[in-house]
Amino acid sequence: MDQHLPSAANIAVAHKQKLSYLAEMLDFPLERLDLLRQAVTHPAFFEGQKHGGRRPLDNQRLEYLGDAVLDLVIGEYLYHAYPNAREGELSKMRAVIVCEASLAAQAQKLGLDETLRLGRGSELSGDRHRPSILADAFEAVTGALFEVGGLDKAQRFLYTQFKDKMDRLSAADYEDKKSLLQEIVQKYSPKGVTYKLLDTQGPDHAPSFESGAYWGKILLASGKGSSKKESEQAAAQAALANKQVWLDKVKFYQDADG
Protein backbone atom coordinates (compact mmCIF):
# COMPACT_ATOMS: atom_id res chain seq x y z
CA MET A 1 0.00 0.00 0.00
CA ASP A 2 1.26 3.49 -0.88
CA GLN A 3 2.41 5.04 2.39
CA HIS A 4 1.67 8.50 0.99
CA LEU A 5 -2.06 7.76 0.73
CA PRO A 6 -4.14 8.54 3.83
CA SER A 7 -5.48 5.50 5.67
CA ALA A 8 -9.18 4.96 6.25
CA ALA A 9 -8.64 5.76 9.93
CA ASN A 10 -6.91 9.06 9.11
CA ILE A 11 -9.69 9.99 6.69
CA ALA A 12 -12.28 9.28 9.39
CA VAL A 13 -10.41 11.43 11.92
CA ALA A 14 -10.05 14.30 9.44
CA HIS A 15 -13.72 14.14 8.58
CA LYS A 16 -14.74 14.16 12.25
CA GLN A 17 -12.68 17.31 12.74
CA LYS A 18 -14.38 19.00 9.78
CA LEU A 19 -17.78 17.89 11.05
CA SER A 20 -17.07 19.23 14.53
CA TYR A 21 -16.01 22.57 13.07
CA LEU A 22 -19.22 22.70 11.01
CA ALA A 23 -21.29 21.86 14.11
CA GLU A 24 -19.62 24.67 16.05
CA MET A 25 -20.27 27.13 13.23
CA LEU A 26 -23.95 26.12 13.07
CA ASP A 27 -24.38 25.89 16.85
CA PHE A 28 -25.40 22.28 16.26
CA PRO A 29 -25.62 20.13 19.42
CA LEU A 30 -22.63 17.79 19.59
CA GLU A 31 -24.78 15.00 21.04
CA ARG A 32 -26.64 14.97 17.70
CA LEU A 33 -23.54 14.97 15.56
CA ASP A 34 -24.78 11.75 13.96
CA LEU A 35 -27.63 13.71 12.35
CA LEU A 36 -25.28 16.34 10.94
CA ARG A 37 -23.06 13.53 9.61
CA GLN A 38 -26.11 12.09 7.88
CA ALA A 39 -26.87 15.51 6.35
CA VAL A 40 -23.48 15.57 4.60
CA THR A 41 -23.57 11.93 3.49
CA HIS A 42 -24.36 11.51 -0.20
CA PRO A 43 -26.14 8.24 -1.17
CA ALA A 44 -23.14 7.28 -3.30
CA PHE A 45 -21.06 6.98 -0.11
CA PHE A 46 -22.64 3.57 0.50
CA GLU A 47 -22.04 2.15 -2.97
CA GLY A 48 -20.59 -1.33 -2.70
CA GLN A 49 -21.17 -1.51 1.05
CA LYS A 50 -23.36 -4.13 2.70
CA HIS A 51 -26.02 -2.80 5.04
CA GLY A 52 -28.08 -5.91 5.82
CA GLY A 53 -31.24 -4.69 4.12
CA ARG A 54 -31.44 -1.59 6.32
CA ARG A 55 -31.68 1.80 4.68
CA PRO A 56 -28.29 3.57 4.83
CA LEU A 57 -28.38 6.91 6.63
CA ASP A 58 -27.77 9.21 3.66
CA ASN A 59 -29.04 12.76 3.34
CA GLN A 60 -32.02 12.27 1.01
CA ARG A 61 -34.77 12.32 3.65
CA LEU A 62 -33.22 15.34 5.38
CA GLU A 63 -32.96 17.02 1.98
CA TYR A 64 -36.70 16.53 1.49
CA LEU A 65 -37.41 18.06 4.90
CA GLY A 66 -35.02 20.97 4.38
CA ASP A 67 -36.58 21.79 1.02
CA ALA A 68 -39.97 22.22 2.71
CA VAL A 69 -38.47 24.32 5.53
CA LEU A 70 -36.69 26.57 3.03
CA ASP A 71 -39.88 27.22 1.09
CA LEU A 72 -41.78 28.08 4.29
CA VAL A 73 -39.14 30.30 5.93
CA ILE A 74 -38.14 32.17 2.78
CA GLY A 75 -41.74 32.46 1.60
CA GLU A 76 -42.93 33.89 4.92
CA TYR A 77 -40.10 36.43 5.06
CA LEU A 78 -40.79 37.67 1.53
CA TYR A 79 -44.53 37.81 2.24
CA HIS A 80 -43.96 40.31 5.06
CA ALA A 81 -41.00 42.14 3.48
CA TYR A 82 -42.82 42.93 0.21
CA PRO A 83 -46.47 43.64 1.13
CA ASN A 84 -47.30 45.02 -2.33
CA ALA A 85 -45.92 42.07 -4.30
CA ARG A 86 -48.43 39.77 -5.96
CA GLU A 87 -48.36 35.97 -5.64
CA GLY A 88 -46.54 35.39 -8.92
CA GLU A 89 -43.91 37.97 -8.07
CA LEU A 90 -43.35 36.48 -4.62
CA SER A 91 -42.93 33.03 -6.18
CA LYS A 92 -40.25 34.38 -8.53
CA MET A 93 -38.48 36.06 -5.60
CA ARG A 94 -38.43 32.85 -3.61
CA ALA A 95 -37.23 30.87 -6.62
CA VAL A 96 -34.17 33.14 -6.90
CA ILE A 97 -33.28 32.58 -3.25
CA VAL A 98 -33.77 28.80 -3.18
CA CYS A 99 -32.46 28.01 -6.68
CA GLU A 100 -29.66 25.48 -7.09
CA ALA A 101 -26.96 28.07 -7.78
CA SER A 102 -27.91 30.13 -4.72
CA LEU A 103 -27.95 27.14 -2.35
CA ALA A 104 -24.72 25.73 -3.81
CA ALA A 105 -22.97 29.07 -3.26
CA GLN A 106 -24.03 29.13 0.39
CA ALA A 107 -22.99 25.49 0.79
CA GLN A 108 -19.48 26.40 -0.37
CA LYS A 109 -19.32 29.34 2.04
CA LEU A 110 -20.18 26.94 4.85
CA GLY A 111 -17.50 24.51 3.69
CA LEU A 112 -19.97 21.74 2.88
CA ASP A 113 -17.96 20.88 -0.23
CA GLU A 114 -15.08 19.85 2.04
CA THR A 115 -17.32 18.08 4.59
CA LEU A 116 -19.35 15.95 2.18
CA ARG A 117 -19.00 12.16 2.38
CA LEU A 118 -18.93 10.74 -1.13
CA GLY A 119 -18.32 7.39 -2.75
CA ARG A 120 -15.04 6.82 -4.56
CA GLY A 121 -16.63 6.96 -8.01
CA SER A 122 -18.58 10.06 -7.09
CA GLU A 123 -15.42 11.69 -5.78
CA LEU A 124 -13.48 10.93 -8.95
CA SER A 125 -16.27 12.32 -11.16
CA GLY A 126 -16.08 15.72 -9.46
CA ASP A 127 -19.31 15.50 -7.46
CA ARG A 128 -17.74 17.31 -4.49
CA HIS A 129 -18.02 20.56 -6.43
CA ARG A 130 -21.19 19.80 -8.41
CA PRO A 131 -23.83 22.51 -7.74
CA SER A 132 -26.76 20.08 -7.57
CA ILE A 133 -25.06 17.96 -4.89
CA LEU A 134 -23.97 21.01 -2.89
CA ALA A 135 -27.51 22.41 -3.04
CA ASP A 136 -28.91 19.07 -1.83
CA ALA A 137 -26.45 19.09 1.07
CA PHE A 138 -27.50 22.61 2.05
CA GLU A 139 -31.13 21.51 2.12
CA ALA A 140 -30.21 18.46 4.19
CA VAL A 141 -28.32 20.59 6.73
CA THR A 142 -31.37 22.87 6.94
CA GLY A 143 -33.51 19.80 7.61
CA ALA A 144 -31.12 18.62 10.32
CA LEU A 145 -31.21 22.03 12.03
CA PHE A 146 -35.00 21.90 11.99
CA GLU A 147 -34.93 18.44 13.54
CA VAL A 148 -32.70 19.45 16.46
CA GLY A 149 -34.05 22.96 17.09
CA GLY A 150 -37.41 23.34 15.38
CA LEU A 151 -38.52 26.13 13.12
CA ASP A 152 -36.89 28.89 15.18
CA LYS A 153 -33.40 27.43 14.79
CA ALA A 154 -33.85 26.76 11.09
CA GLN A 155 -35.21 30.27 10.63
CA ARG A 156 -32.26 31.91 12.39
CA PHE A 157 -29.85 29.93 10.24
CA LEU A 158 -31.59 30.79 6.98
CA TYR A 159 -31.80 34.46 7.89
CA THR A 160 -28.03 34.56 8.40
CA GLN A 161 -27.63 33.02 4.94
CA PHE A 162 -30.17 34.99 2.90
CA LYS A 163 -31.63 38.02 4.74
CA ASP A 164 -29.34 40.59 3.10
CA LYS A 165 -30.06 39.18 -0.33
CA MET A 166 -33.82 39.06 0.33
CA ASP A 167 -33.86 42.68 1.52
CA ARG A 168 -32.23 43.91 -1.70
CA LEU A 169 -34.30 42.04 -4.29
CA SER A 170 -35.36 43.92 -7.39
CA ALA A 171 -37.13 42.89 -10.59
CA ALA A 172 -33.75 42.57 -12.30
CA ASP A 173 -32.86 39.82 -9.79
CA TYR A 174 -35.89 37.60 -10.15
CA GLU A 175 -37.35 38.25 -13.58
CA ASP A 176 -36.04 36.04 -16.38
CA LYS A 177 -33.00 37.86 -17.80
CA LYS A 178 -33.61 36.75 -21.37
CA SER A 179 -37.21 37.95 -21.22
CA LEU A 180 -36.19 41.32 -19.76
CA LEU A 181 -33.56 41.82 -22.46
CA GLN A 182 -36.03 40.86 -25.17
CA GLU A 183 -38.57 43.38 -23.86
CA ILE A 184 -36.02 46.21 -23.87
CA VAL A 185 -34.78 45.50 -27.39
CA GLN A 186 -38.26 45.07 -28.84
CA LYS A 187 -39.26 48.53 -27.63
CA TYR A 188 -37.03 49.83 -30.42
CA SER A 189 -36.93 47.00 -32.93
CA PRO A 190 -39.20 44.16 -34.10
CA LYS A 191 -36.05 42.11 -34.50
CA GLY A 192 -35.42 40.19 -31.27
CA VAL A 193 -32.34 38.90 -29.47
CA THR A 194 -30.73 35.62 -30.52
CA TYR A 195 -28.08 33.53 -28.77
CA LYS A 196 -25.04 31.74 -30.16
CA LEU A 197 -22.73 29.27 -28.45
CA LEU A 198 -19.25 30.80 -28.66
CA ASP A 199 -17.06 28.32 -26.80
CA THR A 200 -17.06 25.13 -24.73
CA GLN A 201 -14.24 24.24 -22.34
CA GLY A 202 -13.47 22.03 -19.37
CA PRO A 203 -13.79 18.29 -18.63
CA ASP A 204 -17.04 16.37 -19.15
CA HIS A 205 -17.92 16.44 -15.44
CA ALA A 206 -17.42 20.21 -15.16
CA PRO A 207 -17.94 21.86 -18.57
CA SER A 208 -17.93 25.60 -19.11
CA PHE A 209 -20.03 27.17 -21.87
CA GLU A 210 -19.82 30.69 -23.28
CA SER A 211 -22.72 32.18 -25.21
CA GLY A 212 -23.27 35.52 -26.89
CA ALA A 213 -26.47 37.59 -26.98
CA TYR A 214 -26.93 39.16 -30.42
CA TRP A 215 -29.18 41.75 -32.04
CA GLY A 216 -28.67 40.90 -35.67
CA LYS A 217 -24.89 40.81 -36.08
CA ILE A 218 -24.25 43.08 -33.11
CA LEU A 219 -22.90 41.29 -30.04
CA LEU A 220 -24.66 42.79 -27.01
CA ALA A 221 -22.69 40.77 -24.44
CA SER A 222 -21.34 37.32 -23.67
CA GLY A 223 -21.62 35.16 -20.58
CA LYS A 224 -20.36 31.87 -19.16
CA GLY A 225 -22.08 29.07 -17.27
CA SER A 226 -21.98 25.37 -16.46
CA SER A 227 -24.70 24.72 -19.07
CA LYS A 228 -25.72 26.31 -22.36
CA LYS A 229 -28.91 27.64 -20.74
CA GLU A 230 -26.96 29.14 -17.84
CA SER A 231 -24.47 30.79 -20.19
CA GLU A 232 -27.33 32.38 -22.18
CA GLN A 233 -28.84 33.77 -18.97
CA ALA A 234 -25.41 35.12 -18.02
CA ALA A 235 -25.07 36.77 -21.44
CA ALA A 236 -28.50 38.36 -21.05
CA GLN A 237 -27.62 39.58 -17.56
CA ALA A 238 -24.36 41.10 -18.82
CA ALA A 239 -26.22 42.80 -21.67
CA LEU A 240 -28.75 44.27 -19.22
CA ALA A 241 -25.93 45.58 -17.04
CA ASN A 242 -24.24 47.26 -20.04
CA LYS A 243 -27.22 48.37 -22.10
CA GLN A 244 -25.85 51.93 -22.37
CA VAL A 245 -23.04 50.45 -24.51
CA TRP A 246 -25.26 48.91 -27.19
CA LEU A 247 -28.72 50.50 -26.90
CA ASP A 248 -27.78 53.57 -28.96
CA LYS A 249 -26.52 51.26 -31.73
CA VAL A 250 -29.83 49.40 -31.78
CA LYS A 251 -31.76 52.67 -31.98
CA PHE A 252 -29.47 54.05 -34.70
CA TYR A 253 -29.57 51.01 -36.98
CA GLN A 254 -33.29 50.54 -36.45
CA ASP A 255 -33.96 54.17 -37.38
CA ALA A 256 -31.71 53.76 -40.41
CA ASP A 257 -33.57 50.62 -41.50
CA GLY A 258 -36.91 52.30 -40.84
Active-site residues, by number, are 67, 139
- Give the C-alpha separation, 108 to 169, whole Å: 22
Q: Closest Cα partner for 236 from 163, 158, 166, 182?
A: 182
Q: Closest Cα partner for 115 from 171, 59, 182, 198?
A: 59
Q: Report the DSSP beta bridge partners of residue 197.
A: 211
Phi-psi region of 23 (alpha: psi -120 to 50; beta: other; left: phi over 0): alpha
Whether the Cβ atoms of residue 38 and residue 59 lie closer than 8 Å to each other: yes
CA neighbours closer than 13 Å in the CB half-sphere of residue 94: 22
Whether the Cβ atoms of residue 103 and residue 139 lie closer than 8 Å to each other: yes
